[in-house]
């Protein structure tokens, strides 16, 4: 089923990104919870319009989510399949099911024969089915759909009654030409029910479907704006030690603890000097967040060129530390705009880590998305190109083995005021 979702997204003229899919499902789940666990067709259409996703994509996505959250029983699978149908097909399916059920009840009643114990009980239930079928036609939005729904109810009921009578060997002769009057009666009954419902909607206390849908769309847009309120462009720098496991094996634990603590402090200190902050640490890896790619690139270069000082004076494991760095920029959603650590599960962070993994030891890889906002573009970074996960990057390496000396108190150049997202 997930493969169907992917194929449908690929056929769309404007393929959906992971962020749009997540946003679409989040809006749908919120409205489902607000409606008591039910996601009707009006809500699905509103989600499609609010997110710009194809209507079929929303239905299939809701079906996939429902299958994951519910037990795989026959009824739940049948319900999931029903949800993927468009509203017109659903109405026709319901009409056919009602006609079949009513016909079966009448055929069984005729086969069993009336008695004092049942008082034509099955016939009464069949009449309830008939009323439900007329209501199904009455709530159709167009007269044409109501007419077809009624025709299916009348004609389908006639055909199924004849079939069940034959199977149950009921001694009743049913002329085939009566099918045409049955279809016509069902058609006019559906039209009459739909017209009556439309003209008396206010008196019956029913909501106008157009106004209800507009209200739902307004609610969705408000939710969408609230979800987007935390969106901002950020740049992430991923730093990792090459062969850290072997380094730890070759040194005593105290030296390892001291050296790696100094390494983390070293990276954090340079990150803060360039206006960033440490987002997270995992073992010997450090992820740093910045407002602009120029800040991240400057910090990465300083980390690499200043590493000789760390290895000379604060490295106690006996083997020089070698780093790889990756830089990527993009739009993230921050629940707390003042705290970058609230950003989790972001594709921007993942791509920065992937760039770091393909980076040569001692270098910095800047993704093309981040290099676009650097003075001179990717050409100013270097000439060597790498690629990972359909994302290209440019490799920067130090020009000299000895880094340029700079004062610890010097302030890096301020980041440009332009927003990468602009």
Strands 285-290 and 277-282: antiparallel
pLDDT at residue 290 in the model: 93
pLDDT at residue 194 in the model: 87
Q: Please give the Cα distance from 73 to 282 (Å, whole number).
A: 42
| b/e per residue 257-270 (b: at least 16 CB within 10 A) | ebbbebbeebbbeb
DSSP H/E element including 393: strand 391-396
Check if the beta carbon of residue 55 is closer than 8 Å to that of residue 88. Answer: no
Q: Please give the Cα distance from 221 to 23 (Å, whole number).
A: 12
Q: Please give the Cα distance from 314 to 332 (Å, whole number).
A: 36
- Asked whether residue 209 carries a pLDDT value surpassing 80, the answer given is no
- Asked whether residue 362 carries a pLDDT value surpassing 50, the answer given is yes
| Domain range annotation of the chain | 2-83, 87-224, 231-396
Strands 323-333 and 364-367: parallel
Q: What is the pLDDT confidence band of residue 324, given thresholds at 50, 70 and 90?
A: very high
Task: List C-alpha distances in Å: 6 to 19, 39, 122, 134, 312.
Answer: 14, 22, 47, 39, 52
Q: Domain spanning 231-396: which superfamily?
A: Nucleotide cyclase, GGDEF domain (3.30.70.1230)
pLDDT at residue 64 in the model: 59
Q: What is the pLDDT confidence band of residue 302, given thresholds at 50, 70 and 90?
A: very high
Report the range of poorest mean pLDDT among 92-106, 213-227, 292-306, 337-351. 213-227
What pTM, to 2 d.p., does this model score?
Answer: 0.48
pLDDT, greater one: 110 or 303:
303
């Amino acid at each position: 089923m997930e493969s169907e979702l992917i194929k449908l997204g690929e056929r769309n003229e404007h393929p959906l990104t992971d962020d749009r899919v997540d946003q679409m499902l989040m809006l749908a789940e919120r409205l489902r919870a607000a409606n008591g666990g039910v996601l009707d067709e009006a809500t699905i259409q509103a989600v499609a319009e609010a997110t710009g996703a194809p209507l079929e994509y929303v239905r299939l996505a809701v079906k996939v989510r429902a299958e994951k959250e519910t037990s795989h029983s026959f009824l739940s699978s049948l319900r999931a399949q029903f949800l993927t149908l468009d509203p017109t097909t659903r109405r026709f399916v319901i009409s056919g099911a009602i006609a079949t059920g009513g016909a079966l009840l009448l055929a069984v009643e005729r086969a069993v024969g009336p008695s004092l114990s049942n008082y034509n009980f099955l016939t009464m239930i069949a009449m309830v089915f008939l009323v439900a079928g007329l209501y199904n036609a009455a709530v159709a939005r167009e007269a044409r759909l109501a007419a077809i729904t009624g025709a299916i109810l009348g004609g389908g009921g006639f055909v199924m009654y004849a079939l069940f009578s034959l199977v149950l060997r009921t001694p009743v002769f049913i002329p085939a030409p009566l099918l045409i009057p049955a279809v016509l009666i069902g058609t006019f009954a559906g039209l009459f029910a739909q017209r009556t419902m439309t003209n008396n909607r206010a008196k019956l206390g029913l909501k106008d479907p157009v106004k209800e849908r507009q209200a739902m769309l307004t609610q969705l847009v408000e939710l969408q704006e609230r979800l987007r309120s935390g969106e901002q462009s950020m740049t992430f720098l991923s730093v990792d030690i090459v062969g850290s496991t072997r380094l730890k094996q070759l040194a005593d634990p105290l030296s390892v603890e001291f050296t790696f603590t100094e390494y983390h402090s070293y990276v954090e200190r340079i990150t803060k000097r360039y206006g960033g902050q440490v987002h997270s640490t995992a073992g010997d890896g450090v992820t740093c967040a910045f407002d602009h790619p120029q800040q991240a690139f400057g910090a990465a270069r300083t980390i690499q060129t200043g590493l000789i000082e760390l290895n000379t004076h604060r490295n106690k494991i006996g083997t020089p530390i070698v780093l790889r760095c990756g830089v990527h920029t993009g739009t993230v959603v921050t629940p707390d705009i003042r705290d970058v650590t609230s950003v989790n599960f972001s594709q921007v962070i993942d791509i920065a880590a992937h760039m770091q993994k393909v980076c040569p030891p001692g270098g910095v890889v800047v993704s093309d998305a981040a290099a676009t906002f650097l003075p001179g573009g990717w050409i100013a970074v270097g000439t060597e190109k790498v690629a990972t996960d359909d994302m290209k990057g440019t490799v920067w390496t130090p020009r000299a083995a000895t880094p340029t000396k700079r004062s610890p108190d010097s302030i890096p150049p301020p980041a440009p005021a332009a927003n990468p997202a602009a």
